[in-house]
Amino acid sequence: MDERRLESVCRECGKPLSFHAGETAPARCPDCFDGFLRLRDADFLSSYAELGVASRRIIAETSLRALVMESPPHRKVLAMHIMEQYVQAASDLVGLYHALQGRLHTPVMRAFLDFQLDRTSALAFFHEIRETPGPELLDRLLIPQQAHLARSLPSLSKRDVKDLDRAIHQMLIDLRKTVDMGETAALALAQMAGERRTGAALTNQSAWLDITGLRADQVAAIALDERRRTVSVTAISVDEKRLQTVVGAIDAMTRAAQNMIYAVLSVYQEEARSKALNTPSRARRRP
């Protein structure tokens, strides 16, 4: 293997950068890359809120509508697809919460796109949301307290303050709904998220793998659990009412994420306004 180190320069600051032969030359040094991402955090959140955050709900609702008219085998495929959207919506929400909490230290885009839901992060999120009072959650997210919105965000109109207050109130309600399912569900979420990353296969019956097997109204995803050296079987029911509950949970997570972004973008807007007011304008050149 060629271990020669090659040289390039950061396109932002001109700092020398080294890399191995055969690797792609880095465009920026680590500090400049973080700065590049941070400058675009607000635009990223705005774009994600517009479409990305609702994508899980849209797919789940579409699958639920299609499920009603499908044959039993197709219903099972659609039911598992709905569960996959549930796992992804939860992973997105936990990742967003994690990224917004730490945005003073790490660019939101980096923290969110790098996030992977696992046992530790799932349990930590469920415990924090369940045990932490609403005002403290807002402090951790660096969102102004509801009673102080007009003072903290003076550029907002009275109507905007009222809308934001309502959004924050709904966000806290939906976060509580998300963790109402308990720690057992959190562990199941983490397991399914891991299976989504490593690969899983759908099965109509698991009697060949375990003694219990599946009921006629169930479908399962099977995946290798290398840590325990076993095969995990995640079974779900294709009962329409249960799946409607799952879609309702996805809807709550979607609202929580949208309102969280709305609140943080309001903070970004106020910070940009304050910075503009405090930045002296350049003196005009005399002719």
Q: What is the pLDDT of residue 114?
A: 94
Q: Which band of pLDDT confidence, cut at 50, 70 and 90, is reported for residue 10?
A: confident
Which residues, other chains included, contact 181 with Cβ-Cβ below 8 Å and sequence gap of 6+?
A: 249
Q: What is the pLDDT of residue 281?
A: 59
Q: What is the pLDDT of residue 189?
A: 67
* 271 or 228, higher pLDDT: 271
**Average predicted confidence (pLDDT) for the chain:** 83
- Of residues 232, 203, 231, 208, the one with CA closest to residue 218: 203
Q: Which band of pLDDT confidence, cut at 50, 70 and 90, is reported for residue 101?
A: very high
Which tens digit of pLDDT belongs to each residue from 267-286? 999 998 888 887 775 544 44
pLDDT at 163 > cutoff 60: yes
Q: What is the pLDDT of residue 2?
A: 44
Q: Are strands 201-203 and 16-20 parallel, antiparallel or unpaired?
A: unpaired
Task: Write the DSSP symbol of residue 39.
Answer: H
Q: Which band of pLDDT confidence, cut at 50, 70 and 90, is reported for residue 128?
A: very high
Q: What is the pLDDT of residue 193?
A: 64
DSSP string for residues in 87-132? HHHHHHHHHHHHHHHTTTTS-HHHHHHH----HHHHHHHHHHHHHS
The residues with which 221 forms a beta bridge, in sequence order, are 202, 234
Average pLDDT, integer, range 54-67 = 93
* 8 or 38, higher pLDDT: 38
Q: What is the pLDDT of residue 252?
A: 94
Fill in the amino acid letter for 40. Answer: R
Q: Which band of pLDDT confidence, cut at 50, 70 and 90, is reported for residue 129?
A: very high
